[in-house]
Every structure is written in structure tokens, then in C-alpha cells.
Copies of this chain bind each other. A is one copy, B any other.
Amino acid sequence: MHPFSQFDRHNRLQHLITLEGLSSDQICDLLDRAEHYVRGPGQIPARSQALDGITVGNIFTEPSTRTRSSFELAARRLGGEVINLEIMLSSRVKGETILDTIYTLQAMAVDVFVIRDAEPGVGQFVATHVDDHVSVLSAGEAHLSHPTQGLLDALTIRQHKGSFADQVVAVVGDIRHSRVARSAYQVFRALNVGELRIVAPDGLMPDAGEMPGAVRFDTLEKGIAGADVIMMLRIQKERMQDAAIPEQSDYFARWGLTKNRLKLAKPNAIVMHPGPMNRDVEIASEVADGPQSVILKQVANGVAIRMAVLETVVANRKARQSSP
């Protein structure tokens, strides 16, 4: 075991568990690299041999998530081998046994671990224990972190808006329980977004001390007024059984992004959502499918971002091995 750092001794990215601590330059390098992998609809996807000889272990608790597919396609299009494992690392009773599973795979020359687990801390725990040549990438950690989602969100905004400094970005909905919101907050702060707003009903707002610098709004209308970017979050149906939160139809009535409400934002505002959407709960179908929606561009950018991250950590590993 060694202290946790996402960066290796050359200060290059080895793991990606959180966006906390990444500089604007480091983030922009990843976005630039991802841009090389972006293709339009109907084009043959970008490919390379950057992961030739590398085996990626996709460790997810459920078989069919969009993030799992996105990482799998990213790795394979870079010429990597992928092995999918459906296990919940954290359920294996004792801390050591998480490591037994990881060390077993590492001994089989699985060199990159992509991990989604129900418990917080699993990715960081694994990252502090793997060999020097191994990388650990988070594919979503509890309510805390979803770093590749944050990067793809940033890439999508940059594609549509060019820069970050003069943008008003509103993150709307269940911010309190959202790893997407936390990674968005981190990446937007690092990139010096002009104004970052968090917009939520009281029960879904994070604690007072969290997310310093973000401006808080308690109505959708005020929160999106004049915004350049509106990022809607998925709300879990269970939340709406909480007394403090409006029920489903009430939620849509007060917090759903409709075509009419969207007029409060800038005319060329873009609408984002990490998916899967609850249509007509947090977002009206006419908005989700409307001309301002960039939701499917986010999905396409997701593959490109994951390719960029995979390529980066594997290139950094080679640099580490050739000048130890």
C-alpha cells in the first residue's frame, strides 16, 4: 500500500478516481485528445492500436449499463482486450478480499481496472494497492464521483460554446445525491466557468458547506434565467417519496424543464442530461428531443473521453516503465 495519488512520480495521470486536483491544463489535454476520437453520426468510429497488448478489466455490479458499454467500446476501438466481470467488490466481506480479487486479475495481466461499485472508496482503495504499471479508472462511485462523465460534459460544452470563462452553467435537480453533479462541479471550477449555479428544491440541495463558489437557487425559473448551459440531473423515484420533495407529477410541475421554461435561458442555451432520463419527470420530451438538446452528443463524447483517458494512462505507464 502507498498513499493515494492519481499522479505517478513523473506527475502524469495514472488513475482517474476523481476530478478533484486536476488542473485546467490536465483537463484540457484530455479534452484535446478526446477531440481526435470524435466522429459524426454515420462515420466509422475512430480506432487506433494505443491499447495493443493491454487488457482492461471492466468490473461492474450490473451487466448492462451504458457506462460499461461505453468503456468496453472505447477500449476495444483502441485495440485493447476487454474482460467483463459482474461482481460487487465491496460485498466480499473483508477488505483483503477486494484485493485478492484485484491481485488475481493483476496476476493475469489485467493492466487497467474500470470499477463501478456500490460502496464509496473502493476505487481509491484499489488504486493504493495495485502495481506501478496498473491504472484504476472510476466508472461511477456512489454519490461522490463520476470523473469521465464530468469530462464528457466539459467536452460537450466546449464544442458548443468554445470557452468556459463567459458561460453561465446551471446544474438542476437532485444535486445532493448526484455523482454527476459533484464531478461537474469539480471540472467546471477547474475550468473557471463564468458562473456556476446549483438549482434544486431544499431537500435535494447539498449541505451548506459543500460546493463553495456555486450560486444556489431554489426555483427552476430563477436558476436557469439567462443560462448558457442547463444540465438536468436524473431524479431517483425513491427520492420523491421523501416528504420534503414534491411527488412525481408535482415534481414535473415545479422542476421539470419544459419548452416554455427553457425560454428563460439564453436563446442558444444547450440542454444536457447524463441519462437515463425520466421523461416528463425532470425533463419534457419536447425539450429532450428538441433542437437545443445535446444529450446524444454527450453519449458520443463519452466514448471519445474514455478512449482519451485509456490512451493517456497507458501512454503514461509506458513512459514510467521506460524511465523508472
Contact = CB atoms under 8 A, between A and B. Distances in A.
B100 A86 contact: no
B69 A299 contact: no
Nearest to A92: B276
A90 interface: no
A86 to B, nearest CB: 6
A42 B97 CA distance: 22
Contact of A321 (B42, B47, B87, B108): B42
Interface string A102-117: 0111111100000000
Nearest to A318: B44
Given A42-B321, A86-B63, A107 B55 contact: no
Contacts of A87: 64
Contacts of A69: 83, 85, 105, 108
A133 interface: yes
A296 B109 contact: no
A36 B94 CA distance: 36
A285 B103 CA distance: 14
A131 B47 contact: no
A81 B85 contact: no
B104 A296 contact: yes
Interface centre among A66, A131, A285, by most chain B C-beta atoms within 10 angstroms, is A66
A239 interface: no
A94 B280 CA distance: 11
Given A81-B76, A97-B279, A279-B97, A108 B41 contact: no
Given A45-B53, A76-B81, A133-B41, A70 B321 contact: no
A113 to B, nearest CB: 13
Nearest to A107: B299
Nearest to A285: B96
Contacts of A44: 53-54, 109
A275 interface: yes
A142 interface: no
A299 B106 CA distance: 9
Contacts of A177: none
A40 to B, nearest CB: 10
B81 A275 contact: no
Contacts of A285: 96
A293 to B, nearest CB: 11
Given A42-B321, A106-B41, A108-B299, A275 B100 contact: yes
A63 B88 CA distance: 13
Interface string A39-64: 10111110100000111000000011
Contacts of A204: none
